[in-house]
Amino acid sequence: MPEKNYSEILEDVLKILERFAKPSEKISEETELVRDLELDSLQVMEIVQEVEDSFDILFPLNDISGIRTVKDFVLKIQKEANP
Positions marked catalytic: 40
Computed over its alpha carbons, how large is the radius of gyration of the chain? 12
Amino acid identity of residue 59, one-letter, is F
The DSSP annotation for 16-66 comes to HHHTTS-TTPPP-TT-BTTTTT---HHHHHHHHHHHHHHHT----GGGGGG
